[in-house]
Structure 1
C-alpha cells in the first residue's frame, strides 16, 4: 500500500452527517454515487421528532436532497419533517418496514417556507407545558397511566400523546378533557417501558449510551434463563436496566454460552473414584475446566480437572471401573498461583500521603572554619580548645595567664546555683517548728478618773 500523501483529499461526507450526530435512525445511502439510475426514485424517507419515520411520494418532482425540511401531507393539515434518505435504497427500507410500493402513500406538498418553520417552532415550544398539564389531568381522573411525551404536528392542529400503562386504560373521558383544554386534535399512542427508556436515553452500567437509544429498533423479550446459562447471580437490582426490565444485553451472548455448555459434562453426573465420590461444584466455560467437591452442599476437597478428563472418568464409571483419583497419574500438578508483587508501588493506597521524615541535626561548625574530622570507631575525641571538660583550657588572649583555681572553703559563700542545691538538700527549719497558737491581744487597762 502506498503511503497517503498530505495532498490526498479527505473522504466526502454529506452535510447532514456533519451537522447531526448519527443515531439509530441514521442510514447511509451507499447507492448515491453509483451510476445507472440507482439514485432516481420517487419515494423519499422523512423523519420527524423522536423515533417516527414516514415514506412520502414526490409527485411534483421537487428538487430535494438529504437534510431538507419539507411540508408533507397529514390528517388534518400538514406536518414538517426532514428528508433522511433518497434513491433506490428507500425501496429496501420500505421492504424492511413491511410496506409495499403499491400501498397508499401520502405525498410531499412543498419545501418548508419560513412561515411553516416559524409555526413548527412555536408548536414545539408548547410540548413540555402540555405534557405537565396532561399528567395532572390524568391524575385527577384516577387513571393508572403515565404520559411520557407529547409531539405536536408541524401546523399545530394535532398533538400525539405517548403513554405507558400496565393494564388497559379507558381514556375516552381523558381525550375529551384534553381536547377542551388545548383546542387541538388528540391522538393517543401506547409505548412500552423499553421504548420510553430509548426515547429518554442515558448511560448504562457499562459506561456506554443505552443500546435502545443508539442502535436497537426492535425489542426481544428477555428471560431469567439467559442469566442462568451465563452463571450470573439472579440479583434483580443488577439484572434490571433503567426501564426496570431485564437488560437487553443478556441476550447478546447467551447463544454462545448455550452452545459451549452442550460440550461440557452434565452437572448432575457424579464421579466415582476408589477413595471418594465427587459432585459438581462450578464450571469455567472459557477455560473448559470443572471443579468437583466431595460434599454436595459445601466446598470440601475441591479438585479442578479439564473437561476431557471428566469425560474419561465418566466412561470408566459406566464400564464399572473406578480410577484411583480424578487427577491422572503422571500429570503435572497444578502450580500454586504466585502472589501479586507490587514492585512499583502503584497499588498502594497511601502512596500519595506525605511521610514525615526526621531531619538529622547537622554538627555545628566553628566560626573560624577549622573543623576537625570525626573520630573513627574505637578512637577518643580530641579535646577542643575551649572544651570545659578537658583540663588544659587555654585563654583567648595569649598574654594573659589563666587564674589558678582556688579550693572552696567551708566559709566561702556558695554561688547562686549552689544555693538552690543547698536549699533542696537542707530541710526547712521554719517548717519543722510547730506553729504556736496566737495569743489574744491584751486590752489596755483604763485608769480610774
Structure 2
C-alpha cells in the first residue's frame, strides 16, 4: 500500500487497507488514470486546457476549472469550490487528458460552467480536513443509532465530511423508498452542519466494504473494478450454468459481475451452433435438443416419446439434418448420425507428484523395532511356559 492511512499502524505494525481503494489519497491506484501525454509538449498554436480532475473520498471525481492557471501536478492537494464553503481533494489528472475524460463521460468541455479551484491547500486546510475525516467513524455509528430509533429500513454504509466541515454526506442503501425528512432534522441537530443523503446501490456498498469471493480472491469491485454493468440471468443461461441463486449471487446479493467477463466469448462460440429450439424431423419422430457442450461442439437430442434416451451429435451433423429438413426430407433416425467419442482414461487423472498415494506421508516402520518386539514376546512366552511346569 502506498498511502499513509493504510501502510502501517501504531508501533510500526501493519495496518492494512480498510478503504478498498476509495480513501481519496490515490495511494492504492484503483482509480488512477495514466497520463500518457505527460512527456509531450503542445504545438505552439494550441493553448493548454486548464481543466483539472480532482478526486475525493469513495472514488468520487469531479472536473474543475483552473481559472488562476496554477501550476498543478498529479497528487497536489487543492481547495475547490463547493456549496457551501470549499472542499479539499487531490488532483488526479491535468491537461488534455481531462478533455478526453470529459468527452468519455459525455460532459461538455466548457470551462466556464465548471466549478473553480481556489488554491493549493494550505497546511491549515489539510489539518482541518484531517480532523473532520477522523470523526467520520463515530458520526456513522451515531447516525445509525438515530436511524434505528426512528424505525427507518435503511443502512448507512459510509459518511463523508466536506473539506471545511460545513457539510456531511451520508451514503445509505435501502430496499424501498425511505422518508428521511425527520432523520435529516435529527442529524442536523446532532452534528450542527448541513446534511445530504445519497443512496448507493448494493454493488457500490460491497465494493466499499470489501471481502473474499467464492473464488478465494478479493472482490473485484473492491480491488480494480470501477464500472458496474448490469448482469442478467441470460448471462448464466448462455454459459450453460445452473440457475442456482446461492452460487450465482455475490456478497452484495446481486448476480456476480464475473458472469459478464467471458460472456462475449460464449456468444461468439454459440453463433456456430444451430438454435436450440430447432427440432429435427426423422422417420421415428421429432427430436428436440436437450443439452449442448460449447467447448466440445456437441449437441444431445432425444425423441419426444423417448425423453430419457439421448443421442450425441456434432454441430456439422445437426446442420446437415437441418438442411435436409428444410428441403422437405426426413432422415431415417438419429443413430445413423451419432458419433461416439472415446475418452482416454489416462486423461481423466494424471499423477504428477504422487498424489494418488494415500499413505505418502506415513512414517515407514523400522524393521529393527519390530524384531525387538518379537524377541521380547518369545521371551515372555518361554517364561510363562516354565512357570506353568
Query: With structure 1 as the length reference, what TM-score do the two structures score?
Result: 0.69
Unaligned runs of at least 5 residues, structure 2: 1-24, 373-384
Deviation at 1:168, TM superposition (A): 1.7
Deviation at 1:322, TM superposition (A): 2.8
**1:160-179 alignment runs, 5 A limit:** 160-179=169-188
1:260 correspondence with 2:269: yes
Q: CA 1:347 to 1:276, structure 2 compared with 1: closer, same or farther past 3 Å?
A: farther
Q: Structure 2 CA distance, aligned partners of 1:247 and 1:257?
A: 17
Answer whether contact 2:283 2:333 (CA < 8 A) is retained: yes
1:66 is matched with 74
Answer whether contact 1:270 1:278 (CA < 8 A) is retained: yes
1:338 is matched with 345
1:122 is matched with 131
Deviation at 1:231, TM superposition (A): 0.9
Match of 1:187 among 196, 205, 213: 196
Match of 2:254 among 245, 257, 266: 245
For these two proteins, the number of residue pairs brought into alignment is 346
1:107 correspondence with 2:113: no
Q: CA 1:143 to 1:328, structure 2 compared with 1: closer, same or farther past 3 Å?
A: closer
Q: CA 1:204 to 1:418, structure 2 compared with 1: closer, same or farther past 3 Å?
A: closer
Q: Structure 2 CA distance, aligned partners of 1:419 and 1:353?
A: 41
Answer whether contact 2:313 2:337 (CA < 8 A) is retained: no
Q: CA 1:92 to 1:342, structure 2 compared with 1: closer, same or farther past 3 Å?
A: closer
Q: Structure 1 CA distance, aligned partners of 2:386 and 2:258?
A: 92
Deviation at 1:98, TM superposition (A): 2.9
Deviation at 1:251, TM superposition (A): 2.7
Deviation at 1:234, TM superposition (A): 0.6
1:32 correspondence with 2:38: yes
Q: CA 1:77 to 1:310, structure 2 compared with 1: closer, same or farther past 3 Å?
A: same
Q: CA 1:90 to 1:170, structure 2 compared with 1: closer, same or farther past 3 Å?
A: same
Answer whether contact 2:285 2:304 (CA < 8 A) is retained: no
CA offset digits 1:230-288 (Å, max 9, x no partner): 11001101111111011122233334433433432333445466678754332111221
Match of 2:58 among 26, 47, 50: 50
Deviation at 1:136, TM superposition (A): 0.7
SS in 2 for 1:50: helix
1:85 correspondence with 2:93: yes
Q: Structure 1 CA distance, aligned partners of 2:178 and 2:152?
A: 7
Query: With structure 2 as the length reference, what TM-score do the two structures score?
Result: 0.78
Q: CA 1:170 to 1:203, structure 2 compared with 1: closer, same or farther past 3 Å?
A: same
SS in 1 for 2:69: coil
1:75 is matched with 83
Answer whether contact 1:279 1:296 (CA < 8 A) is retained: no
CA offset digits 1:211-239 (Å, max 9, x no partner): 33344444332221221121100110111
Deviation at 1:192, TM superposition (A): 1.0
Higher relative contact order, chain-length normalized (CA < 8 Å, sep 6+) = 2
SS in 1 for 2:274: coil
Q: Structure 2 CA distance, aligned partners of 1:351 and 1:106?
A: 70
Bigger helix share: 2
Unaligned runs of at least 5 residues, structure 1: 1-17, 363-416, 422-449
CA offset digits 1:56-78 (Å, max 9, x no partner): 22222322211111111222222
Q: Structure 1 CA distance, aligned partners of 2:195 and 2:160?
A: 10
Q: CA 1:141 to 1:69, structure 2 compared with 1: closer, same or farther past 3 Å?
A: same
Q: Structure 2 CA distance, aligned partners of 1:141 and 1:273?
A: 69
Q: CA 1:39 to 1:283, structure 2 compared with 1: closer, same or farther past 3 Å?
A: farther
Q: CA 1:197 to 1:87, structure 2 compared with 1: closer, same or farther past 3 Å?
A: same
Q: Structure 2 CA distance, aligned partners of 1:282 and 1:215?
A: 36
Runs of 4+ more than 6 Å apart: 274-277, 417-420
1:144 correspondence with 2:144: no
CA offset digits 1:326-355 (Å, max 9, x no partner): 3459x8x53343244647522434321224
Answer whether contact 1:305 1:326 (CA < 8 A) is retained: no
Q: CA 1:151 to 1:256, structure 2 compared with 1: closer, same or farther past 3 Å?
A: same
SS in 2 for 1:82: strand
Q: CA 1:42 to 1:323, structure 2 compared with 1: closer, same or farther past 3 Å?
A: same
Q: CA 1:345 to 1:26, structure 2 compared with 1: closer, same or farther past 3 Å?
A: same
Answer whether contact 1:265 1:311 (CA < 8 A) is retained: yes
Q: CA 1:299 to 1:55, structure 2 compared with 1: closer, same or farther past 3 Å?
A: same
